[in-house]
Structure 1
Amino acid sequence: MLSEKAVKSRPPYRIGIGLAIGVLSWLLPYVGVNSTLLPALLQKIAPAQKVQIIAEVATIGMIVAAIANVVFGVLSDRTRSRHGRRTPWIIIGSIGSAICFWLITITTSIPMLLVIWGVYQAALNAVVGPLLAILSDLVPKKYKGTIASFYGIANSVANPLGTIVASQFLTKINMGIWTMIAIQLVLGFLCVAVIHEPGNKDDKVEPLHGYQLIEAFIFPVHGQLRDFYLSLFGKLLIVAAHYIIVGYQLYIFMDYMKLSSGEAASSLSIMSTILMFTGMFFAAISGPIADKIGSIKKMMVIASVGFGIGVLMPFFDPQPWTMFAYAVIGGSCYGIYNSIDQALNVSVLPSKKAAAKDLGILNLANTIGQILGPIVASVVITQMGYHLIFMAAFIMCVIGGVLFQMIRKVA
């Protein structure tokens, strides 16, 4: 039987496993629907307007996510229940997301689809913000890199696996979305069961009055803010660069590389498999290495620039092999980024008391980046064609790396 001291000296792996399941619960369905099934649906019901509609979907999602991320962060910070602060919101968000996916399968109206997507983004962020805060709530500082690597591994797996799963349903779109509903619900409930957040219903909640109420819902204005905002904008650029490619990957294969639907589906599966395994491997090793050498910032810079090199590969040749090369180089570097991203987030927080709200704001970089990427891609494609989206993504990655290098608080 291990002593209490021995238990405390070990990383809380159960929390890490729960976080990984939680990431899979929302990110795998999101990527599957957003990057593959929704574009396939639009190809079917509105082929002439598909690029513009994807940009509209992204814009609506960005606006809703920007508000919902902060609101649910504040609400979870102030929630008191026998299941803790974060668990109730993860459950509510998982159920709400599943309902929105089901509604997508029964509508052919583009305006209604946009409304449903906006509601979905709100439900999605009820999961994302509170889930991120668990890393701050329950994990000691010396193990944050190691436990964050679980988050990174799941992130590296969920992105390509969402595409792999969804690409199997390009001719059975509704069946694919129903599959995503099942994943969202099963893994969402499993996540909170594994984490088993302690209850806090007896904790006091300080009432908010006047400026305190306003401050609770706005970007932080007190504490060490420089590093916080450098991290925020660095992350925004890296994630947006990633989703410039992910958001249009189906169309890159079909319209830029001139593949048939069947060839595109096959190439998507190959690319996504490479992304999954390279990302998973480097995410698994990067967190513990960062803890050991104490150099989160340097690894973030290397990951950012390396990922930029990966996304630039298809610029040179409109052939599938360049997307596979992107998957090898970019997948490895994005795995490093995913592994230590959340450890960096926790390290630059201005206030522990507002952890979920401030993490929610930092997570806006992920949420808005996922949406901003397709918007940038749409503008570039419309004005200049597919060719230059890869150069745009490269430039964003380099600037992101420079911003990470400017952070002072984190080694």
Structure 2
Amino acid sequence: MIAGEAVSAPLHTPPAPAHCPERPVGPLFIGLFAAAYCGVYIALVTPVTVTLAVKAQQIAPQDKQATLSLALGIGSVLAILGNPLIGRLSDRTTSRFGMRRPWLVGGLVGGLAGLLICAMTRDVTTLVVGWCLTQLSFNAVLAALIAVLPDRIPERQRGSVSGVLGLCLSVALVVGSFLAQAVSSSVVLMFMVPASVGALTVLALVAVLRDRRLTQRPPYGVRELARSYWVNPRRHPDFGWAWLSRCLMFMGTSVLSAYKTFYLSDHLGYSLAQVPRLVFWALLTQTVVTVVSSQLSGWLSDRLKRRKPFVVWAAVLYGLGLLVISLADSFSLFLVGMAITGIGFGTYLSVDLALVTDVLPSRATAGRDLGVFNIATALPQSLAPTLAPAVLAIGGGDNYALLFLLAALCAVAGAAVLQPVRAVR
């Protein structure tokens, strides 16, 4: 699933297989694994950050916000529902080609077809259908990809490999926006060039993957399906508060991810031809700061043995960055806001997952519980685009200042609701 920057979601590690791998993997496999993970995100997040907004403005200039909101909202619902379900189906696949490979290849084909539909269409309905196919298909790829981690990576290497994968989304945002602005003269190429990078990287991994083969399907009924989507917050309040904090924080990130393109064109007055280049520089600024702050804050959190203060102040900083963006009257001030959000986002991502790991209901169900936690990342990608048009319409339309102000308040609220957590300092 994607979290815009959100598509930026915490890493969901499924439960380890019955026979955990013991043989270490080499740098070639790790490189191809990380490249495939990054490539899928390049194909998936580039439309969210740039291309879908450009396409919406091209085919429905009078209703571009509503068109973008419709596509992102429905697509996010499919991501929420599809990722855990497809992950479980992957666990039960008995194909002679392996458990993960059919979903990697099949999802890739579906994702490319969906992006091609988005690129070629001239009407809103087909755009939404194409994006829904893209989301569902690429989430199948992501679900199968992340399952490769416990399948092939021994426990002693998982920390370092997970660290590499954690940087992939930030890298994908910059690479995708660079590719989009490099071919900005053609909307079709803006969709398909990043998609081609994803296809090549996934196929390279498929070619070398020693996939697991399953001979007998484990049981999977209605009860097991329902448990994929729920952890009781009354029985596990610390986990519930952490879940709500992540959801509120990502309401803010989803607004910035989806609407910065329109903000630059409608609010700051840049032309559609200029926007892809400006988005690239904005994301590059944010990503550099995110990487630096995540490494520093993660190290400090471990040294000080404290989690909550880092997560709380990270959410506050992100809200401050959104406030600066809401007041921006130039691209320079917009960049300042993006840099501040980068500090907050990097700190939040590096420490929040550690905090959540500390408050998991049970180590025995860690994979399922982290899957539920991932919903807190994906759900705002559906809610934010659904609510945003009503906010933008206040005061005559295009009220981006209010939209980003409310997004800032959501991020700050995400900091506030962490206060009841007791199990973590």
Which of 352, 370, 380 is residue 369 of structure 1 equivalent to? 380
Residue matched to 2:136:
122
Q: Retained in 1: the 8 A contact 2:49–2:177?
A: yes
Residue matched to 2:245:
234
Which of 379, 383, 388 is residue 390 of structure 2 equivalent to? 379
Q: Retained in 2: the 8 A contact 1:28–1:159?
A: yes
Q: Retained in 1: the 8 A contact 2:45–2:173?
A: yes
User: Relative to 1, partners in 2 of residues 1:341 and 1:93: Cα closer, same or farther, differing over 3 Å?
Assistant: farther
Letter in 2 for 1:33: P
Query: 1:314-351 CA distances to partner (integer Å, 9 max, x unpaired)?
Result: 22232212210122111122123333455455555445
Letter in 1 for 2:339: V
Residue matched to 2:370:
359
Query: 1:87-111 CA distances to partner (integer Å, 9 max, x unpaired)?
Result: 5434432332122112222321221
Of 355-364 and 240-249, more deviation after overlay is shown by: 355-364
Q: Does 1:61 align with 2:75?
A: yes
User: Relative to 1, partners in 2 of residues 1:109 and 1:177: Cα closer, same or farther, differing over 3 Å?
Assistant: same
Q: Retained in 1: the 8 A contact 2:316–2:411?
A: yes
CA distance in 2, matches of 1:273, 1:239: 20
Letter in 2 for 1:366: T
Residues 271-350 of structure 1 aligned to structure 2 (within 5 Å): 271-344=282-355, 346-350=357-361
CA distance in 1, matches of 2:110, 2:164: 25
Query: 1:168-212 CA distances to partner (integer Å, 9 max, x unpaired)?
Result: 333211012120221221222345678x5762525x654245x63
Which of 262, 265, 272 is residue 251 of structure 1 equivalent to? 262
Letter in 1 for 2:330: Q
Q: Retained in 2: the 8 A contact 1:98–1:184?
A: no
Q: Retained in 2: the 8 A contact 1:232–1:362?
A: yes
Q: Tell me how far 1:221 sits from its aligned partner.
A: 4.6
Residue matched to 1:199:
212
SS for the counterpart of 1:121 is helix
Letter in 2 for 1:321: S
CA distance in 2, matches of 1:404, 1:142: 32
User: Relative to 1, partners in 2 of residues 1:408 and 1:331: Cα closer, same or farther, differing over 3 Å?
Assistant: same
Q: Tell me how far 1:50 sits from its aligned partner.
A: 0.7
SS for the counterpart of 1:89 is helix
CA distance in 2, matches of 1:227, 1:20: 32
- Gapped regions of structure 1 (runs ≥ 5): 1-7
Query: 1:272-321 CA distances to partner (integer Å, 9 max, x unpaired)?
Result: 22112222333344445545544444432232221111111122232212
Q: Tell me how far 1:255 sits from its aligned partner.
A: 0.8
Residue matched to 1:112:
126
Q: Retained in 2: the 8 A contact 1:156–1:338?
A: no
Q: Retained in 2: the 8 A contact 1:153–1:284?
A: no
User: Relative to 1, partners in 2 of residues 1:24 and 1:286: Cα closer, same or farther, differing over 3 Å?
Assistant: farther
Q: RMSD over aligned Cα, in angstroms? A: 3.6
CA distance in 2, matches of 1:206, 1:372: 35
CA distance in 1, matches of 2:238, 2:101: 29
Q: How many residues align?
A: 402
CA distance in 2, matches of 1:130, 1:296: 31
Residue matched to 2:19:
none
Which of 55, 71, 96 is residue 85 of structure 2 equivalent to? 71
User: Relative to 1, partners in 2 of residues 1:171 and 1:271: Cα closer, same or farther, differing over 3 Å?
Assistant: same
CA distance in 1, matches of 2:205, 2:356: 21
Q: TM-score, normalised by structure 1?
A: 0.83
Letter in 1 for 2:212: G
Q: Retained in 2: the 8 A contact 1:13–1:147?
A: no
CA distance in 2, matches of 1:313, 1:277: 19
Which of 271, 275, 278 is residue 267 of structure 1 equivalent to? 278
- Gapped regions of structure 2 (runs ≥ 5): 1-21
CA distance in 1, matches of 2:179, 2:90: 32
User: Relative to 1, partners in 2 of residues 1:106 and 1:260: Cα closer, same or farther, differing over 3 Å?
Assistant: closer
Identity across matched positions, percent: 25
Which of 22, 33, 48 is residue 34 of structure 1 equivalent to? 48
Q: Retained in 2: the 8 A contact 1:143–1:291?
A: no
Of 45-54 and 124-133, more deviation after overlay is shown by: 124-133
Which of 163, 175, 181 is residue 177 of structure 2 equivalent to? 163
Query: 1:115-173 CA distances to partner (integer Å, 9 max, x unpaired)?
Result: 12222221122133444455677778898765543233222222243223223333211
Which of 212, 215, 219 is residue 230 of structure 2 equivalent to? 219
SS for the counterpart of 1:274 is helix
Query: 1:35-71 CA distances to partner (integer Å, 9 max, x unpaired)?
Result: 2112112222211111111111122113222221231
